[in-house]
Structure 1
Amino acid sequence: MKLVGLALAAVLVLGAAPADASPRWTVCDGSCSFDVPPGDYEIEALLTGQTGLDVEARRIALAPVNTRPGRYVHRSVTVEVRTPEGMPSGEDGPGTPGLQVRLTGPAPRPARIAVTPRPRAPRVFVISDSTAADWTFLPKNGWAQALPELFRAGPSVRNYAQSGASTVSYLADPRYFPRVRPMIRPGDTALIQLAHNDKQTPEDVYRANLATLVDGVRAQGGAPVLVTPPVRHRFGADGKLTPLGLVVSTIGVDLPAVMRDVAGEQKIPLLDLTARSQALLEGLGEAASWPLYLTLAHDGVDDATHLSRYGAEQFAALVTQEMTRVRLPLARFLRRPNG
């Protein structure tokens, strides 16, 4: 891995790569590490071939472009550097200091990359569980792990989703909401999606916990947004998802329905990922929708809850479709096709 410092200015082009790139630009071949402290940074990249970028704990920052040899496309994205790189529990270790960048794509070519601090970037906090988390190691992926690639430079996705978290544990554990809440600044957005692990949480407690999370974000000047949970790959004989698939708890609480109700009571936006993902799975059918999740043939395990990289990207796209539908202010930063 090549360690580089911050180099700072250059001409951005769509066409032939600049012959005399300024010292700001660093050629990254395979992977490289930028020696920067924790914070938010804009990554600018000149990409060629079939090349994209992942950063830190396998976060998908830029989708692969597709160009002819010698032709370059400029892309930019804002990302967070933190310790630990992955989930806030640190269960996968602290990671590597600085900003880690890895080239991706079917035919990656060396890329020219520049990194600039963006300390006042608007932030998008993700308060969730394993279905959204930054998974450091294969094969699991969270939908928020793929969210950065869908935004152009501007907002920084700060994914503090934690495997195993419920509304109960996310509030109680000092590594989770007590850590995240003080980070939130006026104007930041917090996407709250906790349900999968509230299997035994009574409905009144679940409602109260969601309200506590919403109030905590508001107290910091942030904008809370509830996100209903993604469905599980659990089909009945009729070709429809079962109650377990639709994230009804083991004690019979329809958690997405409660979340919709709380959003109405609190008068805050709701992104209905449950309904969107249900429509996607049932539209594809049981067999054709399996590639969204982990499969025995590809990943060594059949897992009806956790997502493949492809599934994470598809579900992240559903979340951004909901942002557009409800006219969330964040939607103005969404990346246009091929842009």
Structure 2
Amino acid sequence: MRRFNAAVLVAAALGAALTGTPAHAAPDQAPAPAHAAPDGAPGAAQCTATACHFDVPPGTYDVQVLLGGDTASRTALTGETRRALLPETAVPAGERVARAFTVNVRTPEGEPTGPDGSPGLDLAVGGAAPALAGVRVAPARHARRLFLIGDSTVCDQPGDPYSGWGQQLPQFLRKGLSVANYADSGESTVTYLQNPRLWATVHPLIRPGDLVLIQLAHNDKTTDEATYRANLETLVAGVRERGGSPVLVTPIVRRWFSPDGTLNNNTALLVNGLGVDHPAVVRSIAAAEGVPLVDLTARTKALVESLGVEGSKALYLYNEKRDNTHTSVHGATVYAGLVRDELVARHLVPAGLVRAGTEGGRGSGV
């Protein structure tokens, strides 16, 4: 596959030509005309029918796509390490729909302690009946960044059937807000602060205006309460030192039921072997430090219990791995939607920067 110069704005045309077909988009997001690649073939150098590659350096980029074709289509986009960037979007036959999002490109492209991955920006075209008519990539000039600090329940998981909620969150966000997911499998508050590829790498990247969501608890099984509290306070202080806005997130529940149909008070609700109630500590720090709180423990507990023993299996990897801690793609997507709702409800993210669409639905808005 040929590649393009990073300094050039690129449009890729696949299948039907872009000319002569109106795009259904908000006025401020209408797609610009296609720019031909240097050899005169629009986008042939960057895309195949199922994937696109752009030779851009690490950074934040706005991506604008045109979806649709001669027949009815349903198109979804993922990128980098299996990040969901655009939910499956239905387009009627003969129509074109414009969508835009902002993506973080970095090395390593997935988990911070994982392999580097391929340089540049990679997009994968999926969905039940994909039809990508065009794509443009340009450096994001005024995008806000949402950093994620967490563990395997949050991170960009490298392979099926695993997925962290942070991996699914980008599809709920519009152009102007990117997700920089620095969650890493197996990390506790202790190891996240100690590993130079984690906090020492994230801390200097934070800029004024950035949101930093912190969800660490699952691996603090042997961390005493004083240490756990001090570690979270260190992360909060470090974010504020850089001018960022910390947001504390209580951990997602584990799917462990008691005989009465409610979640087990210890294992499921993250109380470790030393009796440390992790969600309670997080809530107390948020109150004491004036930090916004996303109580994902409470939200996921209510959801899992409402679905019951059988209905909740699909959220986790019980059917595939007998795993009641890690989420499936479906579960991670549902939980990412809960995070989206909390961010909007607490006025941490403007409603105009989020999408309402979910799995299988027609992606809403640009």
- Specify the TM-score bucket, using the shorter chain as the normaliser: over 0.9
* Mapped partners of 1:330, 1:126: distance in 2: 18
* Mapped partners of 1:235, 1:116: distance in 2: 48
Match of 1:314 in 2: 334
Distance 1:127 1:275, change over 3 A: same
8 Å Cα contact 1:320/1:331 also seen in 2: no
Q: 1:293 aligns with which of 305, 310, 316?
A: 316
8 Å Cα contact 1:230/1:277 also seen in 2: yes
Match of 1:326 in 2: 346
8 Å Cα contact 1:132/1:143 also seen in 2: yes
* Mapped partners of 1:134, 1:101: distance in 2: 15
Distance 1:332 1:109, change over 3 A: closer
Q: State the 1:7 CA deviation.
A: 3.6
Q: State the 1:43 CA deviation.
A: 0.7
Match of 1:165 in 2: 187
Q: State the 1:122 CA deviation.
A: 1.3
8 Å Cα contact 1:13/1:74 also seen in 2: no
Amino acid at match of 1:21: A
* Mapped partners of 1:82, 1:37: distance in 2: 8
* Mapped partners of 1:66, 1:332: distance in 2: 21
* Mapped partners of 1:128, 1:309: distance in 2: 17
Structure 1 range deviating more: 5-14 or 21-30: 5-14
Distance 1:330 1:195, change over 3 A: farther
Distance 1:200 1:106, change over 3 A: same
Q: TM-score, normalised by structure 1?
A: 0.93
Distance 1:39 1:331, change over 3 A: same
Q: Which runs of 5+ in 1 are unaligned?
A: none
* Mapped partners of 1:100, 1:82: distance in 2: 11
8 Å Cα contact 2:22/2:95 also seen in 1: no
1:104 maps to 2:126 = yes
SS in 1 for 2:234: helix
Runs of 4+ in 1 over 3 A off after TM superposition: 1-13, 24-28, 329-332
8 Å Cα contact 1:2/1:31 also seen in 2: no
* Mapped partners of 1:56, 1:116: distance in 2: 16
Q: State the 1:120 CA deviation.
A: 4.2
* Mapped partners of 2:250, 2:148: distance in 1: 13
Q: Deviations over 1:143-165 (max 9, x none)?
A: 01011111110011000000011
Match of 1:37 in 2: 57
* Mapped partners of 1:2, 1:227: distance in 2: 42
- 1:179-258 to 2 correspondence within 5 Å? 179-242=201-264, 243-258=266-281
1:136 maps to 2:158 = yes
1:145 maps to 2:173 = no
SS in 1 for 2:311: coil
8 Å Cα contact 2:111/2:157 also seen in 1: yes
* Mapped partners of 1:89, 1:120: distance in 2: 29
Match of 1:26 in 2: 43
1:56 maps to 2:80 = yes
8 Å Cα contact 2:190/2:231 also seen in 1: yes
* Mapped partners of 1:332, 1:46: distance in 2: 20
Distance 1:35 1:261, change over 3 A: same
Query: Identity over the aligned pairs, expressed in percent?
Result: 47
* Mapped partners of 2:303, 2:145: distance in 1: 29
* Mapped partners of 1:46, 1:132: distance in 2: 30
Match of 1:14 in 2: 23
Q: 2:298 aligns with which of 256, 259, 275?
A: 275
* Mapped partners of 1:303, 1:3: distance in 2: 41
Q: TM-score, normalised by structure 2?
A: 0.86
8 Å Cα contact 1:4/1:32 also seen in 2: no
Give the count of matched residue pairs. Answer: 333
* Mapped partners of 1:212, 1:331: distance in 2: 30
* Mapped partners of 1:263, 1:331: distance in 2: 23
SS in 2 for 1:315: helix
Q: State the 1:276 CA deviation.
A: 0.5
Q: State the 1:252 CA deviation.
A: 1.5
Q: State the 1:332 CA deviation.
A: 4.3
Q: State the 1:331 CA deviation.
A: 4.5
Q: Which runs of 5+ in 2 are unaligned?
A: 12-17, 25-30, 358-363
Q: Deviations over 1:100-159 (max 9, x none)?
A: 000121221234111011154211100000000001211210001011111110011000
Q: Deviations over 1:238-264 (max 9, x none)?
A: 110112111111221110011000000
Amino acid at match of 1:328: L
Amino acid at match of 2:98: H
